[in-house]
Amino acid sequence: MAKTKTVWVCSSCGNDFPKWEGRCSACGAWNTLVEEKVTISSQTRAKSGMTSRQRPRPLRVSEIETSDAPRIRMPSKELNRVLGGGLVPGSMVLIGGEPGIGKSTLVLQNTLSIQSRRVLYVSGEESAMQIKMRAERLGRQSDTVYIVCDTSLENIFEHIENTDPGLIVIDSIQTIASDELESPAGSVGQVRECSARLLRYAKESGVPVIVIGHITKEGNIAGPKVLEHIVDTVLQFEGDRHYLYRLLRSIKNRFGSTSELGIYEMVRSGLREVTNPSEILLSQTDTNLSGTSIGVTMEGIRPLMIEVQALVSTAAYGTPQRSVTGFDAKRMNMLLAVLEKRVGFKLAQKDVFLNIAGGMKVNDPALDMAVISAILSSNVDIVVPHTVCMAGEVGLTGEIRPVTRIEQRIQEAEKLGMEQIIIPRSNVKGMDLGSLNIKITEVSKVEEAFRLLFA
């Protein structure tokens, strides 16, 4: 006989409690406990029990055998880079992003290009006809991809048993529900139970599973936080739908680095890989205008050349405006305070607008020198040459602090035809500058950089 138990589950962290509480004692969130009914059958409990022979034995570290399993190479090189070299057999990957950003398009156009293994694409949001129309729009046809529209977890496992796929795609996890739970699809209990059973199947069979998930208004993965803990890799698909470019970031990756970045361009035929994003992020116009500068930033291990645009004007109203797009607003206010205190530029009564071109969001402190150069270029109306780039962190005392991976930044600037790069003096120690065809200028103070640019 099946027994039904009622528990209260926190929608923020996923912990369950026997009774309702106003505040979750695990994560401290208020009014996040929701009621869930869990059905437990005696057969399920009997199957889950392990005998003493099946229980794992503690092993020394030296006794554990390791093997480098070959990764499954995806058709997209950008996706392989973010995954750390490709899909790991038996892994579970979660891809999240805003509605309409291109999550399903990214997964579908990759799976349609796989010919070496059978793919089962489970859709709980779209019909088979809609997926067929999208495949025709992408210009891809495949005989190895099987489409099934179902939201029952038990039926999905039957489809898996019948088709014996080498890759499984779930679109999306919030639409899948198990018959063992009475709660609706998308609830905390359903998302947790379905994810756990899919992960168990992936580990036991060695078949990788790609799961598409929704996000909340705050930009976090919808559902319990335990969903991100269950999966092996969490990828965030970012970008404004009004811009052409999409960014694929790795938030969590058990098999690779979490600082990788993949860049795509949304075109009529789907998502196109951007192999050299620096050429696209830089302005191609030959007109020299004040208020722009070029900085060299790092996204993971990839150097990028980014154009920083600034506009400084006299405040038309009593309170000056501070508007920032793609950069930290608090950090820009700190840089404005450094300019006023250490350099002597009076910007307290002026409006300052800052924009990172291309819709990028940058957190690298090495962009500080490019930000203050663009602000002062607009303030004094002097053009910063487009053949000059810079990389350096600005401290509160006005010093230029060293940055990481300076050799890769210099090589990226040289590859794109820059004639001069301004870097911190501390980064030059121990570097071999003889083989470089770009002029390297070292500075240690903000005043030195401004003297070079605006003398």
Residue numbers in the known binding site for ATP are: 97-104
Which DSSP helix (H) or strand (E) runs through 294?
Answer: strand 292-299
Token readout for 23 is: 């505040």
What is the rounded distance in angstroms from the CA atom of residue 162 to the CA atom of residue 178? 19
* Alpha helices, H only, 238-344: 277-281, 329-338
Q: Find where tokens 């990481």 sit.
A: 404
Token readout for 171 is: 């679109």
Q: Which of 368, 354, 358, 249 is nearest to 299 (CA)?
A: 249
What is the rounded distance in angstroms from the CA atom of residue 407 to the CA atom of residue 385? 22
Q: What is the 3-state secondary structure (H, E, C) of 330-376?
A: HHHHHHHHHHHHHHCCCCCCEEEEEEEHHHCCCCCHHHHHHHHHHHH
Specify binding-site residues: 97-104
Q: Which of 169, 46, 54 is nearest to 106 (CA)?
A: 169
99 burial via Cβ count (<10 Å: 0-12, 13-18, 19+): exposed
